[in-house]
Amino acid sequence: MTDGHWERIMRAAASRPRALSSFGRAGRSLGAAALLAALAAGCQSRSPETTGSIGNVSAPLASARGEVDDLGAKYTADPADVGIAMRYASALRATNQRTQAVAVLQQTALRNPKNRTVLAAYGKSLADAGRFAEAAEVLQNAHTPAQPDWRVLSAQGTVADQLGDHVSAQGFYEAALKIVPNEPTVLSNLGLSYLLGRQLDQAETTLRLASSQPRADARVRQNLALALGLKGRFDEAETVLRQDLTPEAAAANVASLRAVAARQASAQPAQTVSRELPRAPIAAPRS
């Protein structure tokens, strides 16, 4: 993870308590709705711009772009086909064509205003494009209190976090956890929300619980390492990182975190709180 990325998270954790926004839990997914979403640029990213060899990524990219072209032709031929539209939008998002994905899903949602699956995808796409207030409005209509969808609730939580309303975000995650107790992805989002709200003890407890779940993946464990690092427990953070990264990568991540922590300790308190959710390191896995 780059120093700049760590610094944004450190600044958020060190800042004054946030003011609440007017958005409640019911209206967001990736922006407070899922971002985590909200979560993917780590110490090293999977994107071709940062992973090095073009030769390693050209084939997958060519395949993905080919899929976009194929689905784009099918969508143009029959834009009313919901299945094709959804697949096309998903392929567009996978190739970082977020604006185009939003446009496709917007038209699909207009044609299918009561299709909650479409609304959920549209809301998440809006959040993915940074249009969090709009995402909140769409996502609140992607399910109902009588039939809540835990994935939408989690997405609403990440949108709320992006809007700076961590209290509402945490309410969304807690509601999701009533449906899927101990779901590691939701617990991880909740832990990150606590980090952004400077509730470091709650963040550590929640992320430890998330990491202990059988289905927890590397991103969940690396979010725990982030929480430990924010508390100054760098050796423990490195131990956690070594579960999924090479010793060299884990050490480099911790060194970066130490450097950012040192700068934060000597700097003036930040005037604004970053609303970007942390992304877990994903590169240099153990062989």
pLDDT value, residue 257: 86
CB atoms inside a 10 Å sphere around CB 178: 10
C-alpha to C-alpha distance for 234 and 216, rounded to whole angstroms: 21
C-alpha separations of 56 from 1, 85, 245, 249 in Å: 20, 30, 20, 20
Tokens 């604006």 correspond to what residue? 99
pLDDT value, residue 31: 26
C-alpha separations of 235 from 228, 229, 255 in Å: 9, 8, 11
pLDDT value, residue 42: 31
Q: Where are the alpha helices (DSSP H) in the chain?
A: 3-14, 54-77, 82-94, 98-111, 116-128, 132-139, 150-162, 166-179, 184-196, 200-211, 218-230, 234-241, 247-266
CA dihedral (31, 34, 40, 42) positive or negative: positive
206-245 burial by CB neighbour count: b if 16+ within 10 A, else e? Answer: bbbbbbeeeebebbbbbbbbbbbbbbeebebbbebbbebb
pLDDT tens digits for the chain (287 residues)?
Answer: 444 434 444 444 444 333 222 222 222 222 222 223 323 233 222 222 221 222 333 345 666 778 999 999 999 999 999 999 999 999 999 999 999 999 999 999 999 999 999 999 999 999 999 999 999 999 999 999 999 999 999 999 999 999 999 999 999 999 999 999 999 999 999 999 999 999 999 999 999 999 999 999 999 999 999 999 999 999 999 999 999 999 999 999 999 888 877 877 776 554 433 444 444 433 344 44
Whether 32 contacts 276, CB under 8 Å? no
pLDDT value, residue 62: 63
Walk me through the domains of the chain, giving residue ranges and CATH numbers.
3-266 (1.25.40.10)
Instruction: Provide the token pair at 94.
Output: 């996978």
Instruction: Provide the token pair at 25.
Output: 């839990």
pLDDT value, residue 163: 96
Phi-psi region of 23 (alpha: psi -120 to 50; beta: other; left: phi over 0): beta
Residues written for the chain: 287
